[in-house]
Amino acid sequence: MNLTSEVRPLIVALFSILLGATGQFLFRLGMLHYGKVTVTGIWRQLGSIILTPAIFIGFICFGVSSILWLVVISRWELSYAYPLVALGYVMAILYGTLLLHEKLSLAKISGSCLIMAGISVLGLWRG
């Protein structure tokens, strides 16, 4: 196993996950601007929601993230790669806390630590 061949997919994976979390942040930011919608009402408003600048850019982030993710899963087993996506939860908590001023609770901190521990275990004992 060549270290270089492992580092590049890791960088691509982390960037993909960051873009996915950024997309979620932008969706939330856009919906804070747009306002609340219902499950039935969203279909009538979908065009104007998607054209909300933050949401539109969020979709672009998700699209690029998905394309980059194809690179990752072309090189790694899905059972190794996919748990890394949980880092997106940690990033979303950081976005929410730092940029949206959401409350940081003990549950969010504990959950983030458990996610990081789980990813570490899966990475260390990859077979």
Residues 81-116 pLDDT 10s: 999 999 999 999 999 999 999 999 999 999 999 999
pLDDT digits (tens, 9 = 90+) for 11-25: 999 999 999 999 999
**The pLDDT value given to residue 2:** 58
**The pLDDT value given to residue 20:** 97
pLDDT tier at 35 (50, 70, 90 boundaries)?
very high
pLDDT digits (tens, 9 = 90+) for 69-82: 999 999 999 988 99
Tell me which residue of 93, 87, 97, 77 sits closest to 14, measured CA to CA.
87
Q: 125 vs 40, which has greater pLDDT?
A: 40
How confident is the prediction for the chain on average, in pLDDT? 92
Q: Treating both helix axes as pointing N-terminal to C-terminal, what angle do 3-34 and 87-99 enclose, rounded to 10 degrees? A: 40
**The pLDDT value given to residue 6:** 63
Average pLDDT rounded to a whole number, residues 1-14: 76
Distances (CA, A) of 58 to 20, 23, 31, 32: 8, 4, 11, 14
**The pLDDT value given to residue 80:** 87
Q: What are phi and psi of 101, to 5 degrees?
A: 60, 35
* Global pTM value: 0.87
